[in-house]
Structure 1
Amino acid sequence: MLEELSWPAIDRLVAGGATLCLLPVGATEQHGRHLPVSTDS
């Protein structure tokens, strides 16, 4: 799932041609490139 990926992993998917739509719901803040995007969830 997307929420289990880090930002660099998501960036590689998009660079490889994957279509991506993010719908942030709730708190989202940057915690570093090494953590998954669901750190606050």
Structure 2
Amino acid sequence: MAITVPRPRLNWRERLYLPAIVAGLAITFKHFKNTV
């Protein structure tokens, strides 16, 4: 038997989630810089 959990409503900023994208890109560029 499955239990349905209602998902919280996200506003447009939380849906974009830019801080996570920027942090991921920063880590990627740091690794790239260390490799080159």
TM-score (norm 2): 0.33
Q: Between the two structures, name the one with larger relative contact order (CA 8 Å, sep ≥ 6).
A: 1
Give the TM-score of the pair, scaled to structure 1: 0.29
Structure having the higher helix fraction is 2
